[in-house]
Amino acid sequence: MVISEQELRIQLEEMKARSLSDGLWASDHKFIEQNYERVTFQRFAKRNCSRCYNDAFIEMYTVFKKNGLRDMPNFRLKNGAILQSAHFSEAVTNSNLTDEKAIQWLRDNPTRINFFAVYPENWETLLVDDGAAKKSKEKNNRKQK
Amino acid sequence: MAICDKFLEKNIQANCDDLVVKGVEANGVIINRADIDFSAVVFDADNKNVISNLVLKSGKKGYEISVPTPNPFSGTTTTMEEGTNRKTFTNNLGFVILDNGPEVAGIIDSLANGEFVVVYENKYKGLQKSTNKGDATYQIVGYYQGLKASTLENDKYSDDTEGGWNVVLTETKSPKSALFLYAGNAADSEKAFQSLTNLKA
């Protein structure tokens, strides 16, 4: 189910109140499973762990407070990989990765596509075509490795 | 034919500008060695004791080890061992788990039979060096041969573990004395470290 930014904001605030008092509900756990990746751009590992949902909620809340609901990029890095380039003022991780940054970095390092867990099938085309880079924001097929 | 690390090329001296200190910080990262994407890992071009990107396979992550004790990761050592063709190194990583219960038992069972890589943060970081500031901060063990459990002990009356678990993971026959995670500067290295556990970096 696609959630709006306003709905997300309301839900997170309600969960915050519960997390500070009686604890998260089972429905909150379900909400986290469905929306964690949408907010943080990172996969939620569902485990039998008493603190995992609470930690995930804190992460969601913090990221959402800072960034709001961002467009999901078509590129995502594997854990442990960071992008460094003279083009960037700071190292790029999944928290500040955009399609433009990914394409810019790959133009200098095309063999390093193996840094990415998710990228469009036509990523090589995007490296040579600035117009296609903008079109990649519209949901192209994403290839997951 | 290459001669590997056989000749000294630098002076041996104390660092008086940034005095070395003992100890390890309380938080490290443990990774299933099978989750390392070795083909994507990047070693520093100028120093083969440095990894700049410790890349994990898609969908995989590292897990935090938190050791809130006065001497975290006590028992962490590196020792040279004799070998047939060359000398190698044994890495021991020690830590206590101040907890017990079914969930912890599941972790212990995984530690008992698995093979791991751990990245820990030294208290000595080398931040005052003239070049490569901070390159001593994050140290990697288990990369070459994997860390395997050599001690997993629960003593209900131990003052050291308070009823929790004493853990020692060991890597034998590592060809390198030490391996560091360093992405060219201290800030980027911290991001690389944090990105191992899906934390916001």
**Share above pLDDT 70 across residues of chain B, in percent, rounded to a whole number:** 96
Residue type at B41 in one-letter notation = V
Whether the per-residue pLDDT at B3 is higher than 70: the answer is no
Local structure of A144: helix, strand or coil: strand
B191 touches chain A (CB under 8 A): yes
Exposure of B168 in the CB half-sphere (CA atoms within 13 A): 13
Cα of A74 to nearest chain B Cα, Å: 15
Which tops the pLDDT comparison, B189 or A131? B189
CA–CA min distance A132, chain B (Å): 25
Domain segments of chain A: what residues?
Answer: 5-67, 76-144
Q: How far apart are CA B164 and CA B97, in angstroms?
A: 6
Token pair in block for residue B139: 């140290």
**Which chain A residues have a beta carbon less than 8 Å from that of B187?**
90-91
Q: Is residue B199's pLDDT more than 60?
A: no
Shortest distance between the Cα of A1 and any Cα of chain B, in A, equals 23
Q: Are B88 and B174 in contact (CB under 8 A)?
A: yes
Instruction: Report pLDDT digits (tens) over B145-169.
Output: 999 999 999 999 999 999 999 999 9
The residue to which tokens 């830590």 are assigned: B95
Q: Which residue of chain B comes nearest to A89, CA vs CA?
A: B188
Of B59, B183, B199, the CB nearest to A82: B183
Tell me the range of A95-99, B57-61, B181-185 where mean pLDDT is highest.
Answer: B181-185
Q: Report the C-alpha gap between A125 and A129 in whole angstroms.
A: 6
Q: What is the pTM of this model?
A: 0.81
List alpha helices for chain A, DSSP H: 5-20, 26-40, 52-67, 99-108, 123-128, 130-135
| Per-residue pLDDT, B156 | 95
C-beta separation of B173 from B88 below 8 A:
yes
**Per-residue model confidence as pLDDT tens digits over A15-51:** 999 988 888 999 999 999 889 888 887 767 665 566 7
Tell me the C-alpha distance between A19 and A5, whole Å.
Answer: 21
Closest chain A residue to the Cα of B181, Cα to Cα = A80
pLDDT of A62-95, one tens digit each?
989 988 888 878 999 999 999 999 999 999 998 8
Query: Cβ separation of A95 and B200 shorter than 8 Å?
Result: yes
- Residue of B40, B187, B197 lying closest to A78 (CB–CB): B40
User: pLDDT tens, B5-31?
Assistant: 677 888 888 777 788 899 999 999 999
Q: Which of B188, B199, B201 is closest, CB to CB, to A84?
A: B188
Domain locations in chain B as residue ranges = 24-195
Using a CB–CB cutoff of 8 Å, tell me whether A39 touches chain B: no
For B186: left if phi > 0, alpha if psi spans -120 to 50, otherwise beta; the answer is alpha
Comparison of pLDDT for B8 and B144, the residue scoring more: B144
* Residue at token pair 């290459």: B2
Tell me what ipTM this predicted complex has. Answer: 0.88
Q: Write out pLDDT tens, residues B17-66.
A: 788 899 999 999 999 999 999 999 999 999 999 999 999 999 899 999 99
Hey, is the C-beta of B37 within 8 angstroms of any chain A C-beta? yes
* Tokens standing for residue B167: 């853990």
- Asked if residues A42 and B198 have their Cβ atoms less than 8 Å apart, the reply is yes
The pLDDT of residue A50 is 64
Shortest CA gap A137–chain B (Å): 22
β-pairing verdict for B179-181 and B50-53: parallel
B42 and B9 Cβ atoms separated by less than 8 Å:
no
> Whole-number mean pLDDT of chain A?
84
Q: How would you classify residue A29: left for phi > 0, otherwise alpha for psi between -120 and 50, otherwise beta? A: alpha
| Residue that the structure tokens 């898609």 belong to | B58
